């Protein structure tokens, strides 16, 4: 017996312009510093379908059409279980009713393109609708943060600020939209894929290594807060050159603190460094900043620019040996519900599983 209507949501990654790295509370994903991001459009997306039933004995999860068991994708699955439990309790759903969840990414996981951000946001958005909770964006952001810190930003569109907060319970640590996705539509993210490999050190581990062991990290939180203030002014003024410098310097600062960790954390590879040099040469040739590189916890480069300069950036990246693929992504509007479910495709194992258990 199905207790609540099936829902499917689609959400997108975000690229942090001012980064989140280091946690004051690992269980709740509470950061030492606020962060600022740009939600990406549906060129990159995670689709998540949710259905509740009392015909299974435990919550069931599928990721990219493979069932996830205990011990696999362990850095996030426990957080997902907790959030599902909390949202069910908030909706007054009995313990006997379990969730069947399927999620599919259109881009590589664990490579610095924030699959956990889009995945967490899509799940919370779908749960909110299926459970008829009518949560505000702030409330959904808090739930998404518990799955993955950066997921709290993907609940919203446009330019988003995640407030670090001060409370121990995390109720003041949430994301808010500071500029609608139509507010600066020319902003563009040119992504240079330089590796499809899963990173050796998960972000959830790296956060804590850096904040505990890096002497350089001691100055980072307040530096990031000051950078956000300056970045917001440049965004209000649509001053890309000012914003671009801050984006690059913040990325450099975060990766310097990672390198200063012990043992050192190195996410970028040789091609990543070549991308940095290519963007430096492009800006020098122009006599001003028209493109800004930034790297999340992975080797793949995000180059932020404006639409009129996008083709020049693409050509500069194409000249870098080692770049495997280039993607052009715009500013996104945030999650949405869609009709087509992952449970409706008979080729998918999650669909076969669901048909079997509902027919039993």
Distances from the Cα of 40 to the Cα of 31, 188, 236, 345, 350, angstroms: 22, 9, 19, 27, 28
Which pLDDT value is given to residue 74? Answer: 56
Task: Please return the burial class of 210, using the count of CB atoms within 10 Å of its CB with bins 0-12, 13-18 and 19+.
Answer: buried
DSSP H or E run through 48: strand 46-53
Q: What is the pLDDT of residues 142-179, one digit of tens each?
A: 999 999 999 999 999 999 999 999 999 999 999 999 99
Average pLDDT rounded to a whole number, residues 301-309:
98
Which pLDDT value is given to residue 113? Answer: 57
Q: Which of 27-36, 63-72, 230-239, 271-280 has the lowest mean pLDDT?
A: 63-72
- 203 vs 223, more confident: 223
Strands in 325-330's sheet, in edge-to-edge order, are 291-294, 301-306, 187-193, 325-330
Q: With 70 as the cut, is the pLDDT of residue 114 above it?
A: no
Average pLDDT rounded to a whole number, residues 202-210:
94
> What are the contacts of 281-289 at 24+ separation with CB within 8 A?
281/316, 282/312, 282/313, 282/316, 288/241, 289/240, 289/241, 289/244, 289/245
193 — pLDDT class (breaks 50, 70, 90): very high
197 — pLDDT class (breaks 50, 70, 90): confident
- Averaged pLDDT of the chain: 94
Is there a contact between 233 and 252 (Cβ–Cβ < 8 Å)? Answer: no
Give CA–CA dist 138/158, Å, rounded.
Answer: 15
Q: With 90 as the cut, is the pLDDT of residue 4 above it?
A: no
Per DSSP, 149 falls in state T
Distances from the Cα of 253 to the Cα of 31, 226, 261, 343, angstroms: 16, 13, 13, 43
Most confident of 78-82, 112-116, 165-169: 165-169
Collapsing DSSP to helix, strand or coil, 333 comes out as coil
For residues 133, 135, 141, 144, the Cα torsion angle rounded to the nearest 10 degrees is 0
Is there a contact between 59 and 99 (Cβ–Cβ < 8 Å)? Answer: yes
Instruction: Annotate 264-277 with b (16+ C-beta within 10 A) or e (fewer).
Output: ebebbeebbebbbe
Q: Which of 51-55, 308-312, 320-324 has the lowest mean pLDDT?
A: 51-55
Is there a contact between 214 and 257 (Cβ–Cβ < 8 Å)? Answer: yes
Which pLDDT value is given to residue 133? Answer: 97
Is there a contact between 96 and 59 (Cβ–Cβ < 8 Å)? Answer: no
Q: What is the pLDDT of residues 313-352, one digit of tens each?
A: 999 999 999 999 999 999 999 999 999 999 999 999 999 9
Q: Where are the alpha helices (DSSP H) in 92-202?
A: 115-130, 137-147, 151-154
Q: Phi and psi dihedrals of 66, rounded to 5?
A: -125, 135
Is there a contact between 170 and 86 (Cβ–Cβ < 8 Å)? Answer: no
359 — pLDDT class (breaks 50, 70, 90): confident
Which pLDDT value is given to residue 238? Answer: 98
Which pTM does this prediction carry?
0.94
Helix axes 240-259, 203-213, angle to 10 degrees: 80
Residues 6+ positions from 145 with CB-CB distance below 8 Å: 28, 29, 151, 152, 162, 170, 173, 174, 175
Sign for the pseudo-dihedral over CA of 282, 285, 290, 295: positive
77 — pLDDT class (breaks 50, 70, 90): confident
Q: With 80 as the cut, is the pLDDT of residue 211 above it?
A: yes
Which pLDDT value is given to residue 216? Answer: 98
Beta-carbon neighbour count of residue 245 at 10 Å? 16
Question: Residue holding tokens 């040099």?
Answer: 277
Q: With 50 as the cut, is the pLDDT of residue 72 above it?
A: no
Which pLDDT value is given to residue 75? Answer: 59
Q: Cis omega before residue 313 (within 30°)?
A: no
Q: With 80 as the cut, is the pLDDT of residue 73 above it?
A: no
Q: With 60 as the cut, is the pLDDT of residue 44 above it?
A: yes
Q: Phi and psi dihedrals of 240, rounded to 5?
A: -70, -35
Average pLDDT rounded to a whole number, residues 231-238:
98
DSSP H or E run through 76: helix 74-91
Which pLDDT value is given to residue 2? Answer: 47
- 309 vs 197, more confident: 309
Which pLDDT value is given to residue 52? Answer: 95
Which pLDDT value is given to residue 103? Answer: 95
Distances from the Cα of 138 to the Cα of 35, 107, 356, angstroms: 16, 27, 38
User: The tokens of 252 are what?
Assistant: 């450099």
- 1 vs 116, more confident: 116
Q: Which structural domains are found in the chain, ordered by start?
A: 2-356 (3.30.230.10)
């Amino acid at each position: 017996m199905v207790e609540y209507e099936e829902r499917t949501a689609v959400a997108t990654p975000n690229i942090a312009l001012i980064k989140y790295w280091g946690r004051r509370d690992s269980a709740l994903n509470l950061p030492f510093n606020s962060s600022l991001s740009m939600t990406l459009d549906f060129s990159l997306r995670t689709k998540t379908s949710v259905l509740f039933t009392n015909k299974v004995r435990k919550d069931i999860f599928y990721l990219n059409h493979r069932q996830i068991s205990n011990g696999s994708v362990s850095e996030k699955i426990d957080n997902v279980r907790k959030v599902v439990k909390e949202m069910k309790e908030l909706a007054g759903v009995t313990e006997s009713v379990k969730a069947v969840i399927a999620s599919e990414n259109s881009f590589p996981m664990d490579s610095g393109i924030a699959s956990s951000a889009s995945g967490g946001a899509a799940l919370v958005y779908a749960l909110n609708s299926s459970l008829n909770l009518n949560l505000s964006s702030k409330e959904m952001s808090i739930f998404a943060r518990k799955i993955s810190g950066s997921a709290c930003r993907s609940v919203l569109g446009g330019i988003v600020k995640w407030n670090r907060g001060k409370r121990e319970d995390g109720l003041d640590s949430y994301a808010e939209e500071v500029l609608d996705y139509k507010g600066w539509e020319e902003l563009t993210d040119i992504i240079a894929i330089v590796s499809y490999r899963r990173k050796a050190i998960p972000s959830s581990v790296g956060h804590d290594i850096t904040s505990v062991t890096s002497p350089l990290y001691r100055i980072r939180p307040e530096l990031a807060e000051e950078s956000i203030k300056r970045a917001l002014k440049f965004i209000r003024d649509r001053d890309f050159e000012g914003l671009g410098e801050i984006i690059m310097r913040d990325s450099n600062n975060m990766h310097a603190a990672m390198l200063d960790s012990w043992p050192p954390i190195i996410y970028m590879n040789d091609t990543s460094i070549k991308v940095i040099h290519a963007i430096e040469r492009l800006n020098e040739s122009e006599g001003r900043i028209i493109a800004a590189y930034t790297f999340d916890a992975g080797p793949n480069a995000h180059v932020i620019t404006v639409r009129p300069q996008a083709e020049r950036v693409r050509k500069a990246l194409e000249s870098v040996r080692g770049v495997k693929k280039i993607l052009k992504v715009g500013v996104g509007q945030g999650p949405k519900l869609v009709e087509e479910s992952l449970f409706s495709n008979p080729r998918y194992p999650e669909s076969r599983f669901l048909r079997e258990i509902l027919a039993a």
